[in-house]
Amino acid sequence: MIIITGPGRSGTSLLAHAYKLAGADPGGAWDDSSRAGFEDPQIVDTNKAMLAAIESTLLGRRHTLPRAQNMPLQSISVAILDRLGTDRKRKLGQLFARLPTNRTTHFRPPNWLKVDDVVAEWGTTLRSLSSQRVICKDPQFSLTLPLWIKAGASIEFVVATSRETDAMIQSRYAAGHVGYRNKSATRNAMIYASGLLNCTLADNRQIPSILLRFPDFIHELDHTAQQLPLVPPITSNGLHSALISLVSEDKSDR
């Protein structure tokens, strides 16, 4: 399995899209509203569950619309929400999630004392997923990669991306991908994720990897395509053509 990751908003979706166009589907779909995507739902859910188990998260948590606890009131609240329609309910949920009181206060780094238990619980799943997937992309790997490695997952290559911290934070807020109450917590999460990813790659040099800086790598597409790992039927020329096509469409902030 080839992993594409970084703290987010640093070109990971662009790279995943390029692989998809070149012939290796990472899974998931493109979300035009947030200008991001191509993340396998099972990979994302697995990473999210493991982060919850080690008491951490990359993006913070945003609470969903509340439901009444009393059964009769719950039925009424469900009926009212359902009558709003999907689009209005989604917008109401977004407004609710933006309230400071419904977001995580501080970034919490992983509780490493719980890693062994999490790996024991999820190890079989991680090994199975890594053997089934040719390529996958998820920013949460910035924090969970040590768990995949410890579980003995089959990881052939890691493509890591980085970006100026302020630009990364700005882009995350613009995309609505933040669950923290303030930018200080968001900054701590981005910096920690970047540092942990670099440490993980340095500590596991048996796993080939590259670090690409965004947006520099979109201005050197020929060199970028030559650095990226290949899997059949992917070729450097195919990746190069895909990257040129995507960058020319001005979908690079992802």
Please check whether residue 239 is in contact with residue 228, taking contact to mean a CB–CB distance below 8 angstroms: yes
Q: Taking the CB of residue 135, how many other CB atoms lie within 10 A of it?
A: 24
Q: Taking the CB of residue 166, how many other CB atoms lie within 10 A of it?
A: 11
What is the structure's pLDDT at 90?
A: 64
Model confidence, pTM: 0.84
What is the structure's pLDDT at 105?
A: 84
Q: Supply the DSSP string of 64-98, one letter for each residue.
A: -----SSHHHHHHHHHHHHHT-HHHHHHHHHHHHH
Backbone φ and ψ of 62, nearest 5° = -115, 125
Instruction: Give the pairing type, strands 36-37 and 135-137.
Output: unpaired
Q: What confidence tens digit (pLDDT) does each residue in 90-111 have? A: 666 666 555 655 678 889 999 9
Mean pLDDT along residues 18-30 = 94
Residue of 170, 227, 222, 239 lying closest to 23 (CA atoms) = 239
Q: What confidence tens digit (pLDDT) does each residue in 211-240 have? A: 999 999 999 999 999 999 999 899 999 999
Dihedral angle of Cα 33, 220, 198, 195, to the nearest 10 degrees: -50
Domains and CATH numbers, the chain: 2-62+103-248 (3.40.50)
What is the structure's pLDDT at 8?
A: 83
